[in-house]
Amino acid sequence: MLSENEIKEILIRQKETILNKAYGLERTILKTIGSKIRLPHIVVLTGLRRSGKSTLLRQIIRKEYDDKKFFYINFEDERLMDFPAKEFNRLHEALIGLFGNQKTFFLDEIQNISGFEIFIRRLYEEGFKFFITESSATLLSRELGTKLTGRHIDIIVKPFSFTEFMKFKGIELTKESFYIVEKRTEIKRLFEEYLVNGGMPEYIIYGDPEILSRVYDDVIVKDIAVRYKVSNIYLLRQLYSLLITNFSNRFSYNSIRKIIGIKSVNTIKKYISYIEETYFAKTINKFDYSIRRQIINDKKLYVLDNGFINILSKKVTKDKGWLLENLVFNHLKTNIDIFYHSNKTECDFLIVKNREIINAIQVCYELTDENKEREINGLMDALKKYKLKQGLILTLNEEDEERIKGRKIIIKPVWKWLIEDNE
């Protein structure tokens, strides 16, 4: 057990570390978080490892608390890994002794401590404010979902958006940017870079592929194998490698079972759910009004950030059309449900909000004489079936608008859509 002096030494060093941490590019989501400060609710920042949660904490501490009047504990510190939740009062007493009686806690990677929610619940009831980060959706559904129901606000922290990526590269956008040739050319050049390299902050800063490989390894070992007690890590790697290599393609649990050699379909479902819970990837279903058919139909998997695909995919040739589709999926809002449509033809995304289909989106790298009819027919099939008046085709550079059989087809470059949707 840690002594009082050891605890104080750790807490002093951790506070120094967070205050000395680079402020970084101010994240767009900081505005949303700022509006939640006055609420009593616990603010949960969740998302993939190294996607910027700790930097976001640093920004909140400076912007909202002026680097004062807060407590900070990082539970990814190996010295606190096995710290018992029942001893949290010792941490609290040490913090008060060091920094005075503050009312705001910042707790980093709290999922490493079993039973933490009991301590948070008690102090929450006493009027304390909490900001916590974690890297697994299971925390939200299990610990917070049972002990802190209705008392927390969940905010998913994603890698840099394209507009954040441009700001990092020194490009400030104005309404005139689209119409200035030099500016437009630079936006398109940066988008080509973003399409391949993605927006993981440290990778964008340093450009070393080992950074993304290490994140992926930590997801498999720490977030999945250790947490869920999976002994056959080789099998996990085989499964995830197959899925990443074939991202955005349709698959069934049975087809994977035959390729990988896992006998149980339930085991495959379970392993895929694990990687979804880390936010590394997400699967979507074919849309059907029958929930049962949604469940049994083929799935598609998308990877959180295109940079991982570039580093981890075993594909010999890199199809930028699929990268474009993956990028579009990851930009779609988190408060909607996303499906794909498949009938005689296929449409990449159906957007459902409040149980109503509100949009259909088709993605292709470019419209050519060979593929234009197929792409439009896929979108039109979805528009007709779900009685939508207009649909969207996103490409690399093309922009147009067509009317077909009374329905509007908007064709737009992905980079422009990303910028406009972020305004």
- Note whether residue 187 is domain-resident: no
pTM for the full predicted model? 0.94
Whether residues 19 and 126 fall in one domain:
yes
pLDDT of res. 114: 80
Q: How far apart are CA 162 and CA 167, in angstroms?
A: 9
What rounded mean pLDDT belongs to the chain? Answer: 92
Whether residues 107 and 243 fall in one domain:
no
**Residue 146's pLDDT band (boundaries 50, 70, 90)?**
low
Residues in contact with 260: Cβ distance below 8 Å, sequence separation at least 6, in sequence order = 235, 238, 239, 242, 268
Whether residues 254 and 398 fall in one domain:
no
Whether residues 209 and 252 fall in one domain:
yes
- Note whether residue 78 is domain-resident: yes
pLDDT of res. 139: 58
Whether residues 34 and 123 fall in one domain:
yes
From the number of C-beta atoms within 10 Å of its C-beta (0-12, 13-18, 19+), residue 188 rates as middle
Question: Does 405 have pLDDT greater than 90?
Answer: yes
Whether residues 134 and 26 fall in one domain:
yes
pLDDT of res. 334: 77
Give the structural domain span for 25.
4-156
C-alpha radius of gyration, the chain, whole number? 23
pLDDT of res. 173: 82
Point out the domain boundary residue: 156, 171, 193. Answer: 156
Q: How far apart are CA 284 and CA 298, in angstroms?
A: 9
Q: How far apart are CA 323 and CA 211, in angstroms?
A: 20
- Note whether residue 191 is domain-resident: no
Q: How far apart are CA 423 and CA 419, in angstroms?
A: 7
Q: What share of the chain is helix, strand, coil (3-state, %, to 5)?
A: 50, 20, 30
Q: Report the greatest alpha carbon distance in the chain.
A: 76
CB atoms within 10 A of CB 216: 20
| pLDDT tens column, 321-377 | 999 999 999 999 878 999 999 998 999 999 999 889 999 999 999 999 999 999 999
What mean pLDDT is predicted for residues 284-310?
95
- Residue 112 DSSP code: G
Helix (H, G, I), strand (E, B) or coil at 129: strand
pLDDT of res. 392: 98
pLDDT of res. 117: 83
Question: Does 144 have pLDDT greater than 70?
Answer: no
- Note whether residue 162 is domain-resident: no
Whether residues 128 and 234 fall in one domain:
no
| pLDDT tens column, 277-287 | 999 999 999 99
Whether residues 141 and 230 fall in one domain:
no
**Residue 6's pLDDT band (boundaries 50, 70, 90)?**
very high
- Note whether residue 182 is domain-resident: no
CATH code of residue 210: 1.10.10
| pLDDT tens column, 227-261 | 899 999 999 999 999 999 999 999 999 999 999 98
- The answer to whether the CB of 376 falls within 8 A of the CB of 382 is no
Whether residues 65 and 98 fall in one domain:
yes
For residues 174 and 262, the model is more confident at 262
Whether residues 206 and 340 fall in one domain:
no
pLDDT above 70 as % of the chain: 96
Domain count, the chain: 3
